[in-house]
Amino acid sequence: TEWNRAMRQGHPLSLVMLDIDYFKRVNDDLGHLAGDDCLVSLARVCANEIQRSGDLLARYGGEEFSVLLPVTPEAGAISVAERLRVAVAETPVHVGGHAGTVELSVSVGVATITPVPGTSPSDLIARADEALYAAKGAGRNRVMVFRDTGAQAISDS
């Protein structure tokens, strides 16, 4: 729906994809219930940072989340992505049945497209995913943005 609206109106559509760094360790070391607590906490932190009513936060799968930002140019999406990255890093997770907290970080990929005929939502997803995996490959806990010349770093831990 948002893709078609952006195409009709000629507005940019941005996608932010986040993946919890080293999440397998949480599940392996503390158990899947602790992992579930981390997922719920991450969703809550992200929901608190998403400020516009039209923005959409969703669990994309596993420990990956996406934020669709209608009518948002690249600079705005980068700002949201960095705010999310910092908020997650600054929010320790209290997991049931364990003393102490779990510190999380996320790798984040950002992509922006102004839809035109011949493009599809899968193009936007592929670009954000490429930037996300570039962030993981560059050391995690950072934001990278898709550019036609390749993913570029925006922030480091």
pLDDT, position 85: 98
Give catalytic residues, as residue numbers: 63
Q: How many helices (H) and strands (E) does the chain have?
A: 5, 8
Residue scoring higher pLDDT (155 or 19): 19
- The CA distances from residue 71 to 32, 49, 117, 120, in Å, are 37, 17, 18, 16
121-151 tens-digit pLDDT: 999 999 999 999 999 999 999 999 998 776 6
Average pLDDT, the chain: 93
Which residues contact residue 38 at a Cβ distance below 8 angstroms, ignoring those fewer than 6 apart? 20, 23, 26, 63, 93, 95, 102, 104
pLDDT, position 22: 95
97-122 tens-digit pLDDT: 777 899 999 999 999 999 999 999 99
DSSP string, 84-124: HHHHHHT-PEE-TT-SSEE---EEEEEEEE---TT--HHHH
pTM for the full predicted model: 0.92
38-69 tens-digit pLDDT: 999 999 999 999 989 999 999 999 999 999 99
Structure tokens given for 88: 């997650």
pLDDT, position 100: 80
